[in-house]
Amino acid sequence: MKLYGYWRSSAAYRVRIALNLKGINAEQQSVHLLRDGGEQHNAAYRALNPQELVPTLLLGEGPEAAALSQSLAIIEYLDECYPQSPLLPASALARAQVRAMALSIACDIHPLNNLRVLQYLTQTLGVDESAKNAWYQHWVTSGFAPLETLLTRHSGQYCFGDTVTMADVCLVPQVYNAQRFNVDLTPYPNILRVWQACQQLPSFALAVPELQPDAQ
C-alpha cells in the first residue's frame, strides 16, 4: 500500500490519521504541490489520479494495482476493509450524522480554500494576499459556525460522543489550516476542545504535517 500525498495537504493529512488509527503501514510517496509548477500535474501522476489532486492510495503493485482517490472515499474503504477502530458508528442514523459533520468540512469548507482555488484567486484574478486571506477566513468561519452548533448537540470527548470518528479525522486538519491562516477560533469552544482531545492521541500526533518525511 502506498500513499501519494503532500505534507501540508489536509486531505492527505486525513488519510494519514485514518491509517494510523487502523494500525496500517503505508509507504509514503511525496507529490510536491508547488515544485516545478506542481508535481501533481506530471503525466505519471495524472495516470494514477486524473484529477491531479492528492491523496491517492495505491493498492498492490504492477498493472493490477488499484488507485483510490478522494480522501473520504479512501477513509471509508479503509473502514470497510479494516474494521478495527471503526470510524463510523453502528447505527444508520449515527453514521449519517457523522458523515454530515465530515462532509461539512470536506465539501463545504475545504474545496473553497484548496491550493488550486487560492492559486486561481492570486495568479488568474490578481487578488492580493490580504484579500486571499480574507476569502480563506470567511469560508472557514462560515463553515465552523454551524459545525460548532452540531458539536453542541452531538459531541462528547470527540465530535460524536466519546469515540473517534471520521468527523474528527476531518476536523483536525481543518483546524490546522485555520491556524495557518490566522482564523480566530475563540468563537468555537467545542471545536477547540475536540481538537485538543484529538491532539493527545498518537494516531493524530504522528500525522501532523511537520513530522512527515517531505516537510519543509
pLDDT at 95: 98
Inter-CA distances, 33 with 63, 64, 69, 116, Å: 26, 27, 16, 10
Average pLDDT score over residue span 132-141: 97
| 59-68, 162-171, 204-213: least confident range | 59-68
**Residue 132 has which C-alpha cell?**
486571499
Long-range contacts of 106-109 (CB under 8 A, 24+ apart): 106/11, 106/14, 106/71, 106/72, 106/170, 108/143, 109/139, 109/140, 109/142, 109/143, 109/144, 109/174
Rounded CA gap, 72 and 79, in Å?
10
In whole numbers, what is the pLDDT of the chain averaged over residues? 97
pLDDT attached to residue 62:
83
C-alpha to C-alpha distances, 147 to 13, 37, 96, 142, 171, nearest whole angstrom: 20, 35, 15, 9, 10
Domain with CATH 1.20.1050.10 in the chain: 92-203
Local confidence band at 175 (pLDDT 50, 70, 90 cut-offs): very high
Q: What pLDDT sits at residue 11?
A: 98
Query: 92-203 architecture in CATH?
Result: Up-down Bundle (1.20)
Is the model's pLDDT at 52 over the cut of 90? yes
Intervals of CATH 3.40.30.10 along the chain? 2-84
- Residue 64 pLDDT: 83
Look up the CATH number of domain 2-84: 3.40.30.10
pTM of the model: 0.96
One-letter identity of residue 57: L
